[in-house]
């Protein structure tokens, strides 16, 4: 019980750095987050950061991977408890809009992430959401519920629409009312994918 604490300490500092960075990125944004500041807030220095994550971009990637895993898990449980596949898919998509309302997700995943790391589709770890949505659509297509369209194409259209809808809602004067309008339009739009 003397050689465990060592590796635990390491994991702990890594976790502390990740949490501090996530907090900073999520509030002031990537560009204005000073590595000196938030490492000091975690009781560490930039030395630890460069040791664990390589550089500032590497740190952002790690933060994104963490958030993406959380998002994916939430979406899976939501779509899992629906009565049928299509309803599960609609629920999942609407939930995606609602998640995109969270400031941290908006800032890190939807704004700074793409700006700093490029197209989200190319991210190594952070396409769990898209790929799970693609699989859902492929199943629905096999079931004969949705029309003959490319599942991945539809998944990307939907996630893009969700993102913009979420930004619109988040910045509106009356988020409640705006959210209702957006979700209504969104559901109508989804029905475009159904067989007629």
Partner DNA sequence: ATAATTGCATACGGATCGTATGTCAATTAA
Partner DNA sequence: TTAATTGACATACGATCCGTATGCAATTAT
Residue 55 binds DNA (CB under 7 A): yes
Closest CA to 86 of 154, 13, 136: 136
Binding-residue total with a second copy (CB under 8 A): 46
Q: Is 190 in the site for a second copy (CB under 8 A)?
A: yes
Q: Between residue 110 and residue 149, which ones bind a second copy under the rule CB under 8 A?
A: 111-112, 114-116, 118-122, 147, 149
The site partner of 74 among DNA, a second copy, none (C-beta below 5 to 8 Å per kind) is: none
**Separation of alpha carbons 121 and 149, rounded Å:** 19
Q: Does 53 bind a second copy (CB under 8 A)?
A: no
Whole-angstrom distance, CA of residue 109 vs CA of residue 164: 13
Secondary structure (DSSP) of 64-75: HHHHHHHHHHHH
* Binder of residue 80, out of a second copy, DNA, none (CB less than 5 to 8 A by kind): none
CB of 20 to DNA, least distance (A): 12
Distance, in Å, from the CA atom of 74 to the CA atom of 87, rounded to the nearest integer, reads 16
Which residue do the tokens 């629906």 mark? 82
CB of 31 to a second copy, least distance (A): 7
């Amino acid at each position: 019980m003397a050689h465990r604490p060592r590796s635990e300490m390491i994991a702990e500092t890594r976790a502390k750095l990740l949490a501090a960075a996530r907090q900073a990125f999520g509030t002031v944004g990537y560009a204005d987050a000073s590595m000196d500041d938030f490492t000091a807030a975690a009781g560490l220095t930039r030395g630890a950061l460069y040791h664990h994550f390589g550089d500032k971009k590497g740190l952002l990637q790690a933060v994104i991977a963490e958030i993406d895993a959380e998002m994916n898990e939430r979406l899976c449980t939501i779509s899992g408890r629906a009565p049928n596949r299509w309803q599960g898919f609609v629920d999942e998509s609407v939930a995606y809009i609602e998640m995109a309302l969270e400031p941290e997700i908006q800032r890190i995943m939807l704004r700074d992430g793409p700006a700093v790391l490029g197209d989200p589709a190319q991210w190594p770890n952070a396409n769990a959401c898209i790929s799970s949505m693609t699989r859902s659509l492929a199943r629905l297509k096999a079931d004969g519920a949705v029309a003959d369209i490319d599942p991945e194409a539809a998944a990307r259209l939907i996630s893009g629409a969700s993102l913009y809808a979420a930004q619109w809602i988040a910045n509106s004067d009356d988020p409640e009312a705006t959210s209702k309008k957006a979700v209504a339009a969104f559901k109508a739009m989804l029905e475009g994918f159904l067989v007629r």
